[in-house]
Amino acid sequence: MLDQHTSDALFTQAQALIPGGVNSPVRAFRSVGGTPVFMESAQGAWLTDVDGNRYVDFINSWGPMILGHAPEVVLDAVRAALPHSLSFGAPTRRESELALLITEMVPSIEKVRLVNSGTEACMSAIRVARGFTGRAKILKFEGCYHGHADSFLIAAGSGALTLGTPDSAGVTAGVAQDTLTVPYNDLAAVQAAVAANPEQIAAVILEPVVGNMGLVAPHEGFLQGLRALCTAHGIVLIFDEVMTGFRLAAGGAQELFGVVPDLTTLGKIIGGGLPVGAYGGRADLMNQVAPVGKVYQAGTLSGNPLATAAGLAQLRHLQQHPALYAALNATTARLADGTRQIAKELGLNYTVNQVGSMFSLFFTADPVHNLEDAKRCDLAAFGRYFHAMLARGIYLAPSQFEALFVSTAITDELVEMYLTACRASLLAAHGL
């Protein structure tokens, strides 16, 4: 049993001051039960909580820490930038340097605008698409998360062509009317939605590889079909690569699958662990953005000097060490294949999905290709598994519906530690 008395006390205090005691809902452990762990420090593959417990980290701040926690290459860049001030609210050289590096690594991006979060990036990309096309509606996919802007917090209607309804209090029915929602990996549903809304859809936005219903890969030909459909109907295709950008390949999922979107949203890895986001794409689209065009978007802290320093250091390291991706993929394959084999040996036949350095164990024997598939998971058993892994020093996402992220700090020894804990935790979760 973990000693969590300090975490417990801090959570009690936080609940009196912060809604739910957390600043992002999944951190509250509501879906797995128990008290969230409050962290004190992190180095490499390891997290240390306020009670001194140590865990091997498979969340990595939900993706940004691809080099592990506190890599010297990033810390050195931040240390060098720190004495020159924390913010200017004026242009800096590193903003252009980071923009240039992004355009070099992601060829579909000809121009890019830096913002402060993935939510900002996705919200802004949608506005650009609407401004460019003069159309109001967007199409998104069930289970794909693009931040908490109103347009994205829409549940599916009763059928593939039904307009969405608000999935959050505070989102108006008017906003929902402009959002179409269809199942992920269902190209026929997209085609039907486009046909039912001729010349009304400004953009199709999706995670090319989904990380927010657990890890779900696109069917063969799905992304290519979306590209062709959007081209034929003058719809802006937006890839949300906040998670997958610079993680699945140097050029993101679009490089991995060979599909070129019109706009791309980025975040996480491009900040090296500091808050940052970006959206970019074709020059004619990006030239719609003020002060050049009539699509307004602004931000006091956009292009923050510390965030750009950290992001430049991390992206340059990834660009200069391309073999890193093959090693990361091999490590993740060992984790995923080992998890799959252990579940099979225990008679569980659970589904394990993996793409590059992201993977998920789904507590269902059925394949998981979309949100409805993911919803079939045994959530109570997952909660027991999560806590059993935590007790064995393995820090997983506290939700069945979140992907895991692997860093270069995960060694062969830590892979074996994870697999040993996985076997024991699956046994404990099922009383085997």
Phi and psi angles of residue 65, each rounded to the nearest 5 degrees, phi first: -85, 60
What is the structure's pLDDT at 236?
98
Phi and psi angles of residue 280, each rounded to the nearest 5 degrees, phi first: -165, 170
DSSP string of 395-419, one letter each residue: E--SSTTS-EE--TT--HHHHHHHH
The dihedral of CA 185, 187, 189, 190: what is its sign? positive
Token pair 């109570």 is found at: 380
Catalytic site residue from 240, 262, 325, 395: 240
Average pLDDT over residues 56-72: 98
Catalytic site residue from 111, 137, 145, 418: 145
Residue 397 to residue 208: CA distance in whole angstroms: 21
What is the structure's pLDDT at 416?
98
At 398, the pLDDT band (50, 70, 90 cuts) reads: very high
What is the structure's pLDDT at 329?
98
At 167, the pLDDT band (50, 70, 90 cuts) reads: confident
Mean pLDDT of the chain: 94
Average pLDDT over residues 341-365: 97
Q: Where are the beta strands (DSSP E) in 226-297?
A: 236-240, 263-267, 277-281
Structure tokens at 357: 């350095």
What is the structure's pLDDT at 357?
98
Least confident of 22-31, 67-76, 89-98, 357-366: 22-31
Which DSSP category does 300 fall into? Answer: T
Query: b/e string for 312-335 if b means 16 or more Cβ within 10 A?
Result: bbbbbbbeeeeebbeebbebbebb
Helix, strand, coil proportions of the chain in percent (round to 5)?
40, 15, 40
Of 65, 42, 60, whose CA–CA distance to 318 is shortest?
65
Least confident of 143-147, 187-191, 299-303, 312-316: 143-147
Give catalytic status of residue 145 as yes or no. Answer: yes
Q: How far is CA 163 from the centre of its chain?
A: 25
Write the pLDDT tens digit of every residue in 142-164: 989 998 888 888 764 333 333 45
The helix/strand/coil state of 238 is: strand
Residue at 177: amino acid letter: Q
Residue 121 to residue 277: CA distance in whole angstroms: 6
Share of the chain above pLDDT 90, in %: 90
Give catalytic status of residue 344 as yes or no. Answer: no
The dihedral of CA 206, 120, 245, 231: what is its sign? positive
What domains lie within the chain, and their CATH numbers? 5-70+322-430 (3.90.1150.10), 72-320 (3.40.640.10)
- Look at strands 137-141 and 277-281 and give their pairing: unpaired
- Look at strands 263-267 and 277-281 and give their pairing: antiparallel
Catalytic site residue from 268, 279, 325, 373: 268
CA distances from 95 to 131, 272, 275, 304 (A): 25, 14, 14, 8
At 2, the pLDDT band (50, 70, 90 cuts) reads: confident
Give catalytic status of residue 240 as yes or no. Answer: yes
